Amino acid sequence: MSRPTARVVHLVSRPTGEPTADNFAFLDETVPPLATGEALVENIHQSVDPYMREEMEETGGWRLHAPLEGRTLGRVVESRTPALPVGTLVHHRRAWRTLSVVTPDEATVLPDFAGVPLGAHLGILGGTGLSAWVGLTRIARLRPEETLFVSAAAGGVGTAAGRIARLLGAGRIVGSAGSAAKVHHLTEHLGFDAAFDYHEAPIADRLREAAPDGLHVYLDNVGGDHLEAAIDALRDGGRIAWCGAVAQYNSLQAPPPAPRNLFDVVGKSLRLEGFLVRNHLDARPELYDFLVPHLRSGAVRSDETIVRGFEHVVDAFLGMLKGANTGKMIVQLADERR
């Protein structure tokens, strides 16, 4: 009996500066017969994320000429393990392919949240939402009525952070974004009290205008000049949850000169703490308990930019790095209702 063919993407070269489509190659691979304990998953949704840029480096986790990893949702279509019956919806990390062979240790059965869109498990209920939740509640410990600044606020983590912070009772929420359209979206649709385009003027000036009484908390997705401006604007005893540093992902050998005011972390008794969401997976039940009722009621939505078709997965990744998305960038690979 013939076996199905999977379409896969390999990394075939390391980027110098910004990655391009030439760093990737599409291939067809025959899926081998399943061994006992394995299941075959038809992938439905794949996430593309900023951290993947670092994985492309020699020091990253992606090997050349091999399938790549990433957060993925799919449906079991063939199984030789009772833990993953045919028809089960799962989350796994064997991404960048249309079909994936997984074991129960490599796949998590998705909870059945009636009324919650499947894609939310990659968005506000997935790694991006969990990053925002951990950054705000565990690292920065945002309190009601405090002023919060979120950089890259129109991205996946940023939009989730804005929605979660409002539910947590933040007093004023300020965001930065890369275009006037995104600024409008933040203030008109996502509940940000103020937002600015970081291209228009020095970030420190725009941040002082948006938060004249200073900041209590900064959720940093950018680093560089955003971090410098936030340190300047933070009040004594302020907290920084450092989630990402997109400002230097394409210049890993020559990081930007900012921030130049790190000693103010001492002078203002600030707390700056970086974190990896994979070290806080035990927080996922907290996130579910907090957000699922709001998602079911329609009070909160998972903000997403959907790119359809596996053939566009590389384009979606490159576009995400350039800010082409509003909310979480997700590639839809198959019909989720099959």
Which CATH number does 5-120+303-332 carry?
Answer: 3.90.180.10
> Which CATH superfamily hosts domain 127-278?
NAD(P)-binding Rossmann-like Domain (3.40.50.720)
Q: What is the reported pLDDT for 287?
A: 98
pLDDT value at residue 201:
80
Residue 249 has pLDDT above 70, yes or no: no
pLDDT at 1 over 80: no
Rounded distance between C-alpha atoms, residue 83 and residue 107, angstroms: 10
Average pLDDT of span 168-197: 96
291-323 per-position pLDDT tens digit: 999 999 999 999 999 999 999 999 999 999 999
Q: Is the pLDDT of residue 25 over 90?
A: yes
Structure tokens at 93: 């990390």
> Could you give the CA distance from residue 156 to residue 135 in angstroms, rounded to a whole number?
14
Q: How far is CA 290 from CA 23, 82, 124, 165, 300, in A?
A: 40, 31, 11, 12, 11
Q: Where are the domains of the chain?
A: 5-120+303-332, 127-278
pLDDT at 250: 57
**How confident is the model at residue 248, as a pLDDT?**
64
What pLDDT is stored for residue 265 in this prediction? 95
Fold match between domain 5-120+303-332 and domain 127-278: no
